[in-house]
């Protein structure tokens, strides 16, 4: 079977091909992608923790030494976000940044959002309950996390409509073969978002509010503080990662439940299973299918020689369907207890926003099935034309 991430058929359903990869070629070099591809759970988990790999490599080897041209100055707004992001940093910079962000983005701050998440969820469901149906993504799954992140950061309500387009355009750059048009939109969105956050952060430094931007602007640890660029990149990361993942878990997850009506009925009759249901929906149809790592120095793994400067594609979607880790891996089981899925990654780059994503999804999913006990699919869904970030374009439901 052919591993072709550009194929529309593969984007719709990559899982049969993942099964074939795990059985026959669990590690291979893809000449088209210029990357090693790793598909088994044990290997993906091990390499996520392997410090011989990193999210960036510029601190180890220059672009010239990699045989790459200098960075395009026109891409500076996007590159600046990446270069200052916790997501793409390695120790010791990553260690310093994560300690500072953790001090501001505390479990208590997340838990304090519970009431607001519940109120936002109910308000969105109130707005559609007389219509008899909705596009579950545009009417519910998209606006909920955008507003939660905006509430967390302290973005004024009048500006929140700008966040989703910025996020959508920026994350398109993480696809394997993004177009020049997508790159242009991402660069423009990065510049606009950074300018907006810069102004908001400066205002909060002078007049702090009870929000995360104010906390990040003033947090200090061992005499260290976030630079303005680091603060901006952290806020962009929280929006993009948290928002995209939550939207796509809701969309992919409800589509999976509609395909498995027995599991939907179990959840409707046993809503206390919502915690394990959320974990299983993240595992079953993973929103982030692929995560990249750079080879920081020549190394051997599993009988293969990885060379410095090569990239490794870790297939989260495949690892989460590995029957060697998950019994009956292709079966959706919302009561699954042993569920160490990799959807939030592992190691030092484990997702910072995981507690918030879990809280949002548990509240949203439970309220959705409680409010609409007759919830049903009203039309075939449309998948987005993307692979790395897997999600639906629309999901029309009736109730």
How far is the C-alpha of 1 from the C-alpha of 17, rounded, in Å? 6
**According to the model, what pLDDT value does residue 177 have?**
82
Q: What is the pLDDT of residues 196-252, one digit of tens each?
A: 999 999 999 899 999 999 999 989 877 889 999 999 999 999 888 878 889 999 999
Count of helices and strands (H, E) across the chain? 17, 12
Which of these CATH numbers, 3.90.1150.10, 3.90.420.10, 3.40.190.10, 1.10.630.10, describes 8-398?
Answer: 1.10.630.10
**According to the model, what pLDDT value does residue 167 have?**
92
Instruction: Determine the 3-state secondary structure of 5 from DSSP.
Output: coil
Listed in sequence order, the residues at least 6 apart from 114 whose beta carbon sits closer than 8 Å to its beta carbon are 359, 363
The sign of the CA dihedral 144, 291, 342, 88 is: negative
Q: What is the pLDDT of residues 126-180, one digit of tens each?
A: 999 999 999 999 999 999 999 999 999 999 999 999 999 999 999 999 888 889 9
Q: What is the pLDDT of residues 24-44, one digit of tens each?
A: 999 999 999 999 999 999 999
In a 13 Å sphere around the CA of 190, the CA atoms on its Cβ side amount to 26
**According to the model, what pLDDT value does residue 257 have?**
98
pLDDT: is 390 or 223 the higher one? Answer: 390
Six token digits for residue 332 = 């959706």
Q: What is the pLDDT of residues 358-384, one digit of tens each?
A: 999 999 999 999 999 999 999 999 899
66, 320 Cβ separation under 8 angstroms: no
- Could you give the dihedral angle defined by the CA atoms of residues 19, 386, 148 and 158, in that order, rounded to the nearest 10 degrees? 180
Crossing angle of the two packed helices 163-171 and 180-206, in degrees rounded to 10: 130
Instruction: Determine the 3-state secondary structure of 36 from DSSP.
Output: strand
How far is the C-alpha of 188 from the C-alpha of 81, rounded, in Å? 12
Listed in sequence order, the residues at least 6 apart from 391 whose beta carbon sits closer than 8 Å to its beta carbon are 244, 247, 248, 251, 252, 287, 383, 384
357, 246 Cβ separation under 8 angstroms: yes
- Please provide the average confidence, as pLDDT, over all residues in the chain: 94
How far is the C-alpha of 150 from the C-alpha of 48, rounded, in Å? 30
310, 37 Cβ separation under 8 angstroms: no
Residue the block writes with tokens 């026959």: 24
Residue the block writes with tokens 């387009």: 165
**According to the model, what pLDDT value does residue 252 have?**
97
Whether the model pTM is above 0.75: yes
Six token digits for residue 331 = 């079966």
Q: What is the pLDDT of residues 289-341, one digit of tens each?
A: 999 999 999 999 999 999 999 999 999 999 999 999 999 999 999 999 999 99
Q: What is the pLDDT of residues 76-124, one digit of tens each?
A: 999 999 899 998 999 999 999 999 999 999 999 999 999 999 999 999 9
Counting residues of the chain whose pLDDT is more than 70, the rounded percentage is: 100
267, 273 Cβ separation under 8 angstroms: yes
For the chain, which residues make up each domain, given as ranges?
A: 8-398
Mean pLDDT of 267-284: 98
- Model confidence at 71: pLDDT above 90: no
Listed in sequence order, the residues at least 6 apart from 325 whose beta carbon sits closer than 8 Å to its beta carbon are 41, 42, 319, 340
**According to the model, what pLDDT value does residue 1 have?**
58
């Amino acid at each position: 079977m052919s591993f072709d991430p550009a194929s529309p058929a593969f984007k719709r359903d990559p899982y049969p091909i993942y099964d074939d990869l795990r059985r026959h070629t669990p590690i291979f070099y893809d000449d088209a992608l210029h990357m090693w591809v790793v598909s088994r759970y044990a290997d993906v988990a091990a390499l996520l923790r392997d410090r011989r790999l990193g999210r960036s490599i510029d601190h180890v080897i220059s672009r010239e030494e990699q045989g790459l041209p200098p960075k395009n100055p026109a891409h500076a707004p996007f590159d600046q976000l990446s270069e200052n992001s916790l997501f793409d940093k390695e120790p010791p910079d990553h260690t310093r940044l994560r300690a500072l962000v953790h001090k501001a983005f505390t479990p208590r701050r997340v838990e304090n959002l519970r009431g607001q998440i519940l109120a936002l969820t109910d308000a969105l469901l109130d707005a559609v309950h007389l219509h008899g149906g909705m596009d579950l993504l545009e009417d519910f799954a998209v606006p909920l996390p955008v507003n939660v992140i905006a509430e967390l950061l302290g973005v004024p309500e009048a500006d929140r409509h700008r966040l989703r387009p910025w996020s959508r355009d920026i994350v398109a750059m993480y696809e394997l073969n993004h177009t020049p048009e997508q790159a242009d939109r991402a660069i423009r969105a990065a510049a606009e978002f950074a300018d907006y956050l810069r102004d908001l952060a400066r205002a909060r430094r002078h007049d702090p509010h009870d929000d995360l931007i104010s906390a990040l602007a003033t947090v200090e640890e061992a005499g260290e503080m976030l630079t303005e660029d680091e603060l901006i990149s952290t806020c962009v990361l929280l929006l993009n990662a948290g928002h995209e993942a939550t939207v796509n878990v809701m969309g992919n997850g409800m589509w999976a439940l509609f395909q498995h009506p027995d599991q939907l009925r179990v959840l409707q009759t046993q809503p206390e299973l919502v915690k394990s249901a959320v974990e299983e929906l993240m595992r079953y149809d993973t929103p982030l299918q692929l995560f990249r790592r750079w080879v920081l120095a020549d190394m051997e793994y599993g009988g293969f020689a990885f060379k410095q400067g090569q990239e490794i594609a870790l297939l989260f979607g495949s690892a989460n369907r590995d029957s060697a880790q998950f019994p009956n891996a292709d079966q959706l089981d919302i009561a699954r207890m042993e569920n160490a899925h990799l959807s939030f990654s592992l190691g030092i780059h484990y997702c910072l926003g995981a507690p918030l994503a879990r809280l949002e999804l548990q509240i949203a999913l439970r309220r959705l099935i409680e409010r609409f006990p007759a919830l049903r699919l009203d039309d075939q869904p449309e998948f987005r034309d993307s692979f790395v970030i897997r999600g639906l374009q629309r999901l029309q439901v009736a109730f």
